Amino acid sequence: MKKYIILILLPILSFLYIPTVLGQNVKGTVVDENMEVLIGANIYWIETSIGTSTDENGEFEVNGDAIEDKRLIVTYLGFENDTIQVFGDANYMLEMTSEQTLNEVIVQGKKTGTFISSNEAIKMEVVNEVELGKAACCDLAGCFNTNASVEPATTNIVTNSKELKILGLSGIYNQLLLDGFPLIQGLSYTYGVSSVPGPFVKNIFIAKGANSVIQGTESISGQINVILQQPVDAPPLYVNLFMNTFWEKQFNVYSAQTKGKFSNLIGGHMVLPASKHDINDDTFLDLPQLTRYELLDKWKWGNATENGWFNRGGIRWTKEKRTGGQKDFNAKEDLGSSTIYGQHVEYDQFDLWKKTSYRFDEFNATALILSGQYHQQDAWYGETVYEGKQQLFNAVLQHEFIYKNGSNLRAGTSFKFLNIDENISFTSNPLNKTFDGDYNTREIIPGAFAENTLFFLEDKMTWMIGLRADHLNQFGWIISPRSLLKYTPKDKTDIRLSVGYGWHNPKPFSEQSRVLSSQRDIHFHGILEPDKAWNYGINITQKFEKNNVIGTFTTDFYQTRFQNHVMAHYHSAHDALVFENNKKPAVGNGFQTEITLDLWDWVTFKTAYNYLDIQHTDLEGQKGTLDFITKHKILNSLSVAPKGKDWHFDVSTQWYGKKKLPDTDFYPDEFQQRDYSDPYAMLNAQFTYKWKSFEWYTGCENILGFVQKDPIISAENPFNPYFDTSFAWGPTRGREGYLGVRYIFEGKKKDEE
């Protein structure tokens, strides 16, 4: 009880403290001549390698303790280099001038593809367009081939639905944001990761463990904020064409224009289906036939750093069809068939988001943040028919007060409304399944929050502490404290500590869609309560430079301790799946160490090691390791981009150790599975060549061609009671080559988030 009282009181006490001493760190914001902030601008002290890059708000902080020549160099692609003389401890606004010659690319220093922001109390890993250009990145799930913190995982191999895992935990435990808005949840969670086209992504911000309470409390294991292309920064015209060796085709186009204070971006995305492939001859398609159409419109008016009104927002419409299952299944004729097995999903989704803010002065701003979604889905899983509708609305009203030395206080109220109507029926029911019927989920959650960021010890210590209180219409109040501390004992060394409480309301059918794929019956034992957990973390980041080597070493450890987690219990019987609350001990430990080296300014090498150990106790009191978790994982990536050349080559390898598989001892002998999977490795490579406004790229994923044998139990008889698609633990579609071209008509480089 004392622990809860202390954590609740800490934010309140911290708001009474207003620091008055500014240290030797120089802070500021980098903007263009239109006062639009620039993300990823490089700032360093003249004739040194001590520097940083601007974050998603165009802000930077660089240490100047040991610097005698107080001049900062500022560089950004498409803009003239600038030199700033620093006097005193003011907060600087650095304005850059664009290059007058825009018909050629002028590189003003190397822009790092991924880096850890040094300004945040949170360990914020930033992945930008440079890193995203090292792979095809057809959708969001494909944007993490060179990232060790996030693991894309398949949730249903028949329809190829994906989720993004942090710390080895299911993607439902990390908060996925689109342009800072919580739009991928509920029914849109199932295919939300795949519905974000990779070419539309500008930056990805990854935070492990507990972080800010502003966007909510669902970030138990971490947060992924996907920033789409910005109207003020995107080129006037961008076109991307892509095709792989499965003959799946993708087309992306967007255009951005600015007139006065108003900027607009409109884009279109289309995927046309692959041909039918069955590499292991189990009669099931290796990948579904996918058709998707998507339209995007984003706009911005005004400037968030100037006094007065500022508006930004977006609209997105997505229509998608997926057909998987047996090779001869025809969605026009065989929906719900009991003689040939197929899965067919159709959905329409409409998203709307908007932020309106008013800045009173350089210290005070108020913002109203709104987002909404309508999602309608019809799906057939063999003989099971699923219909779902979702209405989602989120609202946040917050005020930000910035102290003179950079400390800030943000406080406000929030409201969430979520309504999900699901109907499940059967075209035939020879196995006497019992889970047909109507299911309704309604969340009405008002809340309030406050978060204070403070600076101590001449800015060597940053403390961000926050508190949320949310009222769930079914479960009452939940209090969620968060505390994050960053200490910089010396230049280029950051130590971070974090602790926080989070919760998540489960939606079994949308978040675990594979349960509808098998022939198991589904039971619910009691009312499913929210997942609740504490997360504790420590991170050490060390940057260094010697001769022609610039590097970053980082290591971290996070522990997640669940107070309640909803289990999908597979082990009780072969013909049933049970959802129930489990309040018995469940602890997840995640360790990662990573080193990145920039060699001679044209070679980048990264190596990382992950260790995951997630233990839980089932309802019978048996302790064990969570299924499908890779305890050991190694990632290596190498990028070669010679100076003055128009090409670059990128290669990455990921090695996965064995995984614990579900117990099948009670199955007949012919359907029993092994206890552990095989270790395997994935090798990916891409070559990119630039010619004028074109970028040609070709590559191959899974070059070694590893394929899991027989990922589907009883594939030869999908209407058998033992048929199950939930045993996939590795690649199932073999080697994939691809070819693509990007056309980029360059315009002025501007940025606003």
Tens digits of residue pLDDT in 367-409: 999 999 999 999 999 999 999 999 999 999 999 998 767 788 9
Under a CB-based contact definition with an 8 Å cutoff, are residues 496 and 183 in contact? no
List b or e across 197-233, with b for residues whose CB sees 16 or more CB atoms inside 10 angstroms.
Answer: bbbbbbbbbbbbbbbbbbbbbbbbbbbbbbbbbbbbb
On whether residue 725 sits in a domain, the answer given is: yes
The set of residues, in sequence order, having a beta carbon less than 8 Å from that of 550 and lying 6+ positions away, is: 49, 543, 544, 597, 598
Residue 25 reports pLDDT greater than 90? no
The pLDDT-based confidence of 747 (bands split at 50, 70, 90) is low
- CA distances (Å), origin 585, targets 582, 618, 658: 8, 9, 24
Angle at 529 between CA 527 and CA 533, to 5 degrees: 160
- The amino acid occupying position 363 is F
d(CA 558, CA 532): 16
Residue 130 is classified by DSSP as H
pLDDT recorded at residue 412: 96
Query: Does 82 fall in a domain?
Result: no
72 is a domain residue: no
Dihedral sign, Cα of residue 584, residue 148, residue 174, residue 485: positive
Q: Let me know: does 277 contact 327? Beta carbons within 8 Å.
A: no
Q: Range of 471's domain?
A: 114-745
| Residue labelled with tokens 């998507």 | 294
In a domain, 620, yes or no: yes
Provide the H-helix boundaries in 353-469: none
Tally the domains of the chain: 1
Q: For residue 231, give both structure tokens.
A: 């109207």
Mind listing the pLDDT tens digit for each residue in 593-610? Answer: 999 999 988 899 999 999
Q: For residue 94, tell me if it sits in a domain.
A: no
Banded pLDDT at 111 (limits 50, 70, 90): low
* Cβ count near 401 (within 10 Å): 15
pLDDT the model gives residue 21 = 32
Is 43 within the bounds of a domain? no
First to last CA, the chain: 41
Q: In what order do the strands lie in the sheet with 82-85?
A: 51-53, 42-45, 71-75, 82-85
Q: Which of 455, 445, 540, 436 is nearest to 494 (CA)?
A: 540
In a domain, 7, yes or no: no
In a domain, 671, yes or no: yes
Strand 25-31, strand 91-95: pairing? parallel
- Of 22 and 163, the structure prediction assigns the larger pLDDT to 163
> E strand or H helix at 5, and its extent?
helix 2-14
* Least confident window among 89-98, 122-131, 280-289: 89-98
Higher per-residue pLDDT: 114 or 454: 454
| CATH at residue 495 | 2.40.170.20
